Structure 1
């Protein structure tokens, strides 16, 4: 995701190019996005059961220099291991906030 009209900070790392491709018949998930309304949204849906696994179209997308914020609904209340925190491995999903870092590498 980037803003073509404004230059902003991007993490200075090389992103590897994926050489493999999968046939469309072997993909088990659908990816949908809405970019035409006031609410940008992305959804990932399991093809076999039509279960929505990830949906971030429920709140606004905030895209700023060195910061992205989005809200998502979850398919289950049993979510484990999201974000960087201390505490229970089972996450509290009652309007909780979690930080995600794109890179966590020690530099000497």
Structure 2
């Protein structure tokens, strides 16, 4: 009966014994909180913005300046626009990579 309940997705009604907890720890099966992971990612993002926010703002400012100072000839030339797109992606990546790296590390841990 207990097996049927656990297979159907029902929660177990009794806490595991100390022996089962010890065996699980020895196997590396530790309980982890999803909220703790979420908190770590949020804190990494906030910390990244505090540390690298000025660099990000500078990169975004350079990006906007380069994109808003287009001549008509550049805007009408497909090859020039593709080059501008690549340069814009590079400028955006320069500002975002430290924060994204911090978020990636926090998500993995």
TM tier, smaller? under 0.3
Instruction: State the TM-score, normalizing by the size of structure 1.
Output: 0.17
Going by fraction, where is helix more abundant, 1 or 2?
A: 2
Q: Which is bigger in relative contact order (C-alpha 8 A, separation at least 6)?
A: 2
Larger CA Rg, structure 1 vs 2: 2
